[in-house]
Structure 1
Amino acid sequence: MIISARNQITGKIESVKEGAVNAIVTLKTDGGAAITSTISMSAVKDLGLAPGKEATAVIKATEVMIGIGDMKLSARNQIAGKIESIKEGVVNASVTLKTDDGNTITSTISMAAVKDLGLAPGVKAKAVIKATSVMMAV
């Protein structure tokens, strides 16, 4: 299957914490970072997710925020790296972050945010993604 989501990061399931309706699934990327996803228990069972299983975290670029500096947030996924490139549009920009573990994450954010944060290639930043915005694929 080919999908439009820009961010498809592979790894192995590290843990599955089951609840009555949802589970918190942690994927350890091939580079060693952890990505947390909150998905339904039926999805966990349908996908056969269990520790050690290979999977892919799928995240739309519009669901990725970019932050700089120290941030205390409820978002579980805060992945550090450096801005690799910025493709500017009139209203929005496509920002690519090269993560410290070697992956790339693309974010679609406003041009105002790019300017306000002083984003440019080489700037240290973090991709911030709520666990509920991370899908899992096998």
Structure 2
Amino acid sequence: MNVSARNVFKGKITALVNGAVNAEVELTVAGGDRIVAIVTEGSVRSLGLAVGKDAIAYVKAPWVMLLSGQPTVRFSARNQLAGKVVRLEKGAINAEVGIELVGGAVVYAVVTNDAVEELGLAIGTPATALFKASHVILGVPA
């Protein structure tokens, strides 16, 4: 199966907190990086989500925000993944930025060229990818 989401992370469910309407699911990917998703309880049931089960997290690149330097504010985004810029491809208006995480996974973001300049992003620059748990789509192997 092919999908249009630029970020595809395979891993195991390492935590699952059920709620009345939604559940919080933590997926640990190769290298130990963790991604948190918020899904409906209906999705937990229909996908058979459980701790120890394999799952795949999908995040579209435009849903990823970037930070450079040390943050001076705290953010509500559950997923705050630090690494360094390993890919930077500028287009006419937007750029694709790849951030390699400590565990080796790469998170891709699509941001404006102006944002790349304002943030001082370049290959090797430390950066943090932020995305909301509600922007993570979970799938399971068929």
TM over 0.5: yes
- Cα deviation, residue 105, structure 1: 0.9
Structure 2 residue aligned with 1:18: 18
- Cα deviation, residue 33, structure 1: 1.1
Query: Runs of 5+ in structure 1 lacking a partner?
Result: none
| Alignment coverage as a number of residue pairs | 138
Structure 1 residue aligned with 2:88: 86
In structure 1, what is the Cα distance between the partners aligned to 2:111 and 2:68?
Answer: 14
| Secondary structure of the structure 1 residue equivalent to 2:118 | helix
How much identity, in percent, do the aligned residues show?
Answer: 42
TM-score, length-scaled by structure 1 = 0.97
In structure 2, what is the Cα distance between the partners aligned to 1:134 and 1:7?
Answer: 10
Kindly indicate whether residue 122 of structure 2 is the aligned counterpart of residue 120 of structure 1: yes
User: Deviations along 1:78-137, whole A, 9 cap, x unmatched?
Assistant: 011100011101111010111111001110001111000000000000110100000111
User: Deviations along 1:26-79, whole A, 9 cap, x unmatched?
Assistant: 001111011000111111111111000011110000111111233310001001
Equivalent pair of 2:68/2:120 in contact (CA under 8 Å):
no
Amino acid at match of 2:8: Q
Tell me the C-alpha RMSD between the 2 structures: 0.8
Structure 1 ranges of 4+ moved more than 2 A: none
In structure 2, what is the Cα distance between the partners aligned to 1:69 and 1:75?
Answer: 17
Amino acid at match of 1:101: G
Kindly indicate whether residue 43 of structure 2 is the aligned counterpart of residue 43 of structure 1: yes
1:1-138 alignment, distance < 5 Å: 1-71=1-71, 72-138=74-140
Query: Runs of 5+ in structure 2 lacking a partner?
Result: none
In structure 2, what is the Cα distance between the partners aligned to 1:86 and 1:68?
Answer: 14
